[in-house]
Amino acid sequence: MSFDERGGAPVRRPSTEGRRSASLFQFVSGYGYSAAGRDLPEVSRGRTTVTTILLGLVLPVLILAVWWVAAESGAIPDYLLPSPPQVVAAGVELAQAGLLATYILISVQRVLLGFAIGAAIGLVLGALVGLSPLASKLLAPLLGAIRAVPSLAWVPLLTIYLGIYEEPKITLIAIGAAFPVFTTVAGALRHVDPHLVEAGQAFGLGRLALLSTVQLPAVVPSIVSGLRLALAQAWLFLVAAELIASSMGLGFLLIDSQNNGRIDRMFLAIILLGVLGKTTDALVGLGERALLQRWG
């Protein structure tokens, strides 16, 4: 099997910094009264939603049209650029063979399992490092080093230790999902407004009560944005895992199609990954909106 390194290049984290500081700002400035203000833009209201969705569709529709015309005109041969109907046909063909649903489901299952496990681990480690200076000194350097290991470097080791079935893939995805949550939660807990923490202490809150009354609610926005990054990361690591060693899933569909010269299926797999990733992100976004209304 040929493997193009560019296809699975080590996944670097998307700009965590910007998003984290945005949500930190929210609660750093959030105590007190209206004069302190909240400069964050309000979440778009129902009235604008339709316009927002329509605007969001403009470019995809445009690209689809250009793609269609380019493919149908014959200017580009269809072994390089399949037409949209060819891609749809490839999907129908796979669906009829019973493979499409299986591939999608197995990939979604891997992402969700890996994401759940990784997020839980990231949450616990983040809480430890964020709250305890001792834990931070003990753990932070090690975790920083582990995070610096490119994702693909784990694959051979995981394959030897965990075999070739689900375990190594889910583990890899969990590793990928844990770090965004860890980083955002640890950072946010460390920066919870010390004034609020002191007020809590002054009113007799013990360690645990302080955690549940002041510290955790204060970092809810960061936890959510950490989870969102982790989910994106989970999809990245899924493809990395499936490209290398698998017999099912969308990443497998990609590499298998490359080996068989089925560019229509490659287009199908890429479009499906985009749609699925965006859908899961939108679902988390809905949850985020609800949480921020309660805690923001």
- In three-state secondary structure terms, 85 is helix
37 binds another protein (CB under 8 A): yes
Minimum distance from residue 192 beta carbon to another protein (Å): 11
Residue from 90, 181, 185, 220 binding another protein (CB under 8 A): 220
36 binds another protein (CB under 8 A): yes
86 binds another protein (CB under 8 A): no
**Segment contacting another protein (CB under 8 A): 36-44, 93-101, 106-114, 269-277?**
36-44
Distances in Å between the Cα of 49 and the Cα atoms of 53, 101, 176, 204 are: 6, 31, 32, 45
Closest CB to another protein among residues 75, 202: 202
27 binds another protein (CB under 8 A): yes
CB atoms within 10 A of CB 206: 10
**Which residues are CB-contacts of 38 (< 8 A; sequence separation ≥ 6)?**
26, 29, 30
Closest CB to another protein among residues 40, 116: 40
Q: Nearest-CA neighbor of 267 among 70, 55, 9, 11?
A: 70
Q: Nearest-CA neighbor of 127 among 25, 50, 226?
A: 226
Closest CB to another protein among residues 45, 294: 294
Interface mask toward another protein for 38-77; x: CB under 8 A: x---------------------------------------
How does DSSP assign 20-42, residue by residue?
Answer: HHHHHHHHHTTSS-TTT---SPP
Interaction residues for another protein, span 160-219 (CB under 8 A): 195-196, 198-204, 213-214, 217-218
Minimum distance from residue 38 beta carbon to another protein (Å): 6
CA 251/CA 22 separation, integer angstroms: 33
Interface mask toward another protein for 224-263; x: CB under 8 A: ----------------------------------------
Phi, psi (5° rounding) for residue 265?
-70, -35
Minimum distance from residue 159 beta carbon to another protein (Å): 45
Distances in Å between the Cα of 73 and the Cα atoms of 38, 55, 69, 160 are: 53, 28, 6, 49
Residue from 1, 2, 35, 286 binding another protein (CB under 8 A): 35
Closest CB to another protein among residues 6, 294: 294
CA 192/CA 182 separation, integer angstroms: 16
SS3 readout for 180-209: HHHHHHHHHHHCCCHHHHHHHHHCCCCHHH
Minimum distance from residue 213 beta carbon to another protein (Å): 7
33 binds another protein (CB under 8 A): yes
Answer yes or no: are the C-beta atoms of 227 and 280 closer than 8 Å: no
Give the residues lining the site for another protein (CB under 8 A).
Answer: 27, 30-38, 195-196, 198-204, 213-214, 217-218, 220, 294-296
